[in-house]
Amino acid sequence: MKFPISISMKGRKVIELNKKVFAVGVFAAGLASFAQYASATEYPLTLENCGRTLTFDQAPNRVVSLGQSSTELLYLLGLADRVVGTAVWLGPVQEQFRDVNATIPRLADNDPSFESVVGQKPDLVTTQFQWHIGPNGKVGTIDQFAELSIPVYTAPADCVGKDNTTGGDGTRIDAFSMDQIYQGIADLSKIFDVEERGADLIADFKAREQAAREKVAAVNGKGISALFWFSSAEIDVDPFVAGQKGAPAYVMSILGVENVIDSNDEWPTVGWETIARTNPDIIVIGKMDRRRFPADDWELKMQFLKSDPVTRQMNAVKSGNIVVMDAQSMNPTMRTIDGIETLAKAIEAFEATQ
C-alpha cells in the first residue's frame, strides 16, 4: 500500500488545522461535561427494545453475551465482572480486554446451544443479532427465554429500521446510523446503573467522529469515491460490496465520500466489470478471521485485484490505494468508529499523493 503515514502541511494550512483540532477538543470537552450530569438508574426500570418492553427490578448480575460487539461493549462499560459466558466471535478481542476475556467461559466461537446459554443461569442475555435469538433464532426464541424468565436485550443496530423476518441477515429498511450504537450504549448503561460511564463512552465516540470529519476537511478530501469489498462466495465471482444502507455507507457519507455502489441493498453482489466502470479512487477490503468463503482472506482479495485483467486496470489498484480494514468495522457495531478513522486516514494520505 502506497499511503504515507503522514503528510507535511505548512503555513496557513497548519494554523487552520490547529484551529480545527482545538474545536474538536472543545466539542469533546462539552460532551464530557454533559456526561457528568448522567443520573442514577431508578428501579424498576422499563425500556423498549426491538418492539418489546423489558423491565428490570435491579441491575443484572449474570449476563451471557452473544456477539463480539455486544461483549466488548459490556467490557467498555466496566461490566466484565457481570459476564458469565460469551459466544459468536468474529476475531480477536480488543487488546485491552485480552486478560479479562480469558477468564470468562466461551460457550462457542460461533452459535452456542440453548442449553449452554441457560446453563449459565443468566438474569440477562444480550445478543448482537436477531438471527441468534429472535422469532426464528438459531440459539433460541425470545419466547423460550421468556418461559425461563430470562430477558433478552438485542442490539438496536440489528432491529431499528430493519426487517429480520425476510430470512438470512434480514433486510435493512432505513440506513444505519451510529445513533443506533449510541442507543445501545445508553440502554445498557441504564440497565446496569452505570449511566455516567455510558455517557462518557458516547461522548468519546462522537468526538472521534468529529475529529475524523475535521481530518478530511483539513485536506479538502470530500468528493473522493470508494468501494467497500467485504467478501465473495468464490474469489473470482461477483463480490459482496457495500450498498447505500449499511455501516460502510454511513462511514462514507459522514466523510463526504462517494459510494460507487448505488444499490439500496446492504451488501449487494455486483460484477467486477460494472465496478471497474465506476473506477473508485479507493478500494477498502475486509480483513477477518472467518473463513466461510475463500475471499474472507484479505491477502487473496489483494492478489485478485492485482492479477485479474479487469480489476488491475482500476486506478485504485494501479496506484496502490487499497485499504485493509477490520471487517467488524464494516458491520453495524461500535467498531464502525474505527472504520471511520481508518478511511479518514486513507483519504488524508490519498490527497497527499495527488
SS3 at position 208: helix
What is the C-alpha separation between 203 and 24, in angstroms, rounded? 12
The pLDDT score that the predictor gives to residue 305 is: 98
The pLDDT score that the predictor gives to residue 292 is: 82
Q: Which residue has the cell 475471499?
A: 295
What is the C-alpha separation between 206 and 231, in angstroms, rounded? 29
DSSP structure class, residue 91: S
What is the C-alpha separation between 245 and 265, in angstroms, rounded? 7
* Mean pLDDT in residue range 285-308: 93
The pLDDT score that the predictor gives to residue 166 is: 76
What is the C-alpha separation between 235 and 125, in angstroms, rounded? 37
pLDDT band at 39 (very low <50, low <70, confident <90, very high): confident
List CB contacts of 85: < 8 A, sequence separation 6 or more.
Answer: 64, 65, 104, 105, 106, 107, 112, 116, 117, 120, 122
- Residue 280, preceding peptide bond in cis (omega within 30° of 0): no
Segment 91-119, tens digit of pLDDT: 899 999 999 999 999 999 999 999 999 99
Query: pTM value?
Result: 0.85
Strand partners, 63: 83, 124
Segment 148-187, tens digit of pLDDT: 999 999 999 999 999 888 766 788 999 999 999 999 999 9
**Amino acid identity, position 2:** K
pLDDT band at 353 (very low <50, low <70, confident <90, very high): confident
What is the C-alpha separation between 191 and 40, in angstroms, rounded? 10
